[in-house]
Every structure is written in C-alpha cells, then in structure tokens.
Amino acid sequence: MLRSLYSGISGMKGFQTNLDVVGNNIANVNTSGYKKSRITFQDLMNQQVKASNDPTATTGGTNASQVGLGSKVGSIDNVHTQGNRQTTDRTLDLALEGDGMFVLSSAPTGNNDLNANTVSFTRAGNFYLDGEGRVVNSSGLFLLGTDGEAITIDKEATNISINSQGQVQYNSADGELTTAGTIGVAKFSNPDGLVKNGNSTYRNSANAGLSEAGISAPGENGTADIVSGALEMSNVDLSEEFTNMIIAQRGFQANTRIITTSDQILEELVNLKR
C-alpha cells in the first residue's frame, strides 16, 4: 500500500483536532477569564530509504534519504496572556492586572493545602455573596483570603469596597468601618501547567510551579493587583481564530486530496491486469 495514504490519514486527524481547539476558543470568546488554547504539530517517524555515507579519500559523503510517514499533535497549550478589562461598576466583579489567580475552595475553612482536591484557581472574577455573607463564585466555591479562610461579610454590611491590595472593607450596622479580610492570590511560574477543571477553574499540578509563598496578598511576591468593578475578558482574538479555522479547513481538504490521488494510483495498478 502507498505510504501517502497513511500520511493523509494522520494529517486529517491532526486538522480535526486543530478545528476542535479553534471551535472551543470561539465558543469561549465571551467567557470571563478564559485563556485561549493553541495546537502544535510534529512529524511522525521517517522511513530510511538510503543510509548516509562518510566521506573518503576519493569520494565525498552522501546524505541519508528518508520518507516521512505523516504528522501528529505535538501539544495543546494554554496561552495565559492578559485579557482585556471590561468595566461593570459592580463591587464584587474583580479583575487581576498581572500574574496570579484567585484561590477557590469547596470548604470555607482550613484551606491551606493548595494541592488539595478541594482547592481550585481561576481568573474569572465574577463573585457574589451567599446567604451567610461569604464571597462565592457562580458555582458556589468560596473565595479564600490570605489566611486560607473564606472571605465573609456581615449580612447587615453597607458600602462594601475592595482596594487594589485586596482588602475587603464595609460599614457595619453601627456605621463602623470593618475589614473582612484580604483576598488571596496564588502565583505560578508555569501557569500552562495548570489542569483545566471546567467552570473556568484550574487545579494545581506538579509542573505548574506554585510559588513557595502560597497564598499572597495582591501586589506582593510578584502577584497581580485587583481592580474592583471590572472583569477580565477572554484573550481570544476572533480574527486570529477565523484565520486558523481557514488554515485547518484547507489543510484537511489537502489531506483528503492526498488520499483521493493515492486511491486513483491504486486503481490504475489494479487495472493493469485485464
């Protein structure tokens, strides 16, 4: 059988995955805190037709002759560049300007182990108050402070404010200014190593490079500042994604043409015996 048939099949599979990545990026173009993905390819093994020869006193050296056997997906990367900021004028909408992620937990207290399954991380800063006055995200996960505890605001609080250093303050029922806590931020040397959980959250991995400082206050240990009343939008560029979609479509089409042409050659070979 012709090697080109299998090369064409491998190319079709790769461009199918490419289109999956592009489609997911476009679907999340308006998802707060979403980080786009990209795909890279690598060539498969090569079949050696002729070995290389060393130069001698009378002849020069010759290069090896190899025939490639197709391509494969090399990696699917998450691109953690800063997204554009959208102003909402809602106090509990928070955007991070710089490196780091908000720390979330499914338990409101005693969350100091950032490798625990109950802890996750996000750049989506749309937060709310639950019935107990605790700050949660849209999935009900608790926003942790620098002490590893959930940020809790009194039910009778008024004039809630959050400054760039993450301090959450409000006026209590008697009008006294009270600090509820400081929002925590975790920094990673390799955020691409985080694993997506879904629901705009990530979990830590051994390759993410979590800072030794653990949960830091915003602006400390190289972490981002917080902007209250704004959200970080997706970093997806539609013009780039549509261009990638065209490339994927044409690449898939070209690989189908390889299979069609190889099939025609095989048909000619079969028809030799008549």
Per-residue model confidence as pLDDT tens digits over 142-164: 999 999 999 999 989 999 999 99
| Backbone Cα Rg of the chain | 27
Token duo for residue 231: 């959200």
Report CA 184 to chain centroid distance, whole Å: 21
Q: Which residues contact 182 (CB under 8 A, 6 or more apart)?
A: 145, 146, 165, 166, 167, 168, 217, 218
As a whole number, mean pLDDT of residues 212-237 equals 95
**What is the pLDDT, as a whole number, of residue 84?**
95
Q: Are 253 and 128 in contact (CB under 8 A)?
A: no
Q: Which residues pair with 86 in a beta bridge?
A: 231
Name the least confident of 50-54, 133-137, 235-239. Answer: 50-54
245, two tokens: 């979609």
- pLDDT at residue 27 in the model: 97
Domain residue spans of the chain: 3-80+236-270, 85-232
Q: What is the mean pLDDT of residues 175-180?
A: 92
Please give the Cα distance from 42 to 254 (Å, whole number): 18
Q: Is the pLDDT of residue 1 over 70?
A: no
Q: How does strand 230-232 pair with strand 119-122? A: unpaired
pLDDT exceeds cutoff 80 at 112: no
Task: State the SS3 of 130-167.
Answer: CCCCEEECCCCCEEEECCCCECECCCCCEEEEECCCCE
Which helix (H) or strand (E) element contains residue 93?
A: none
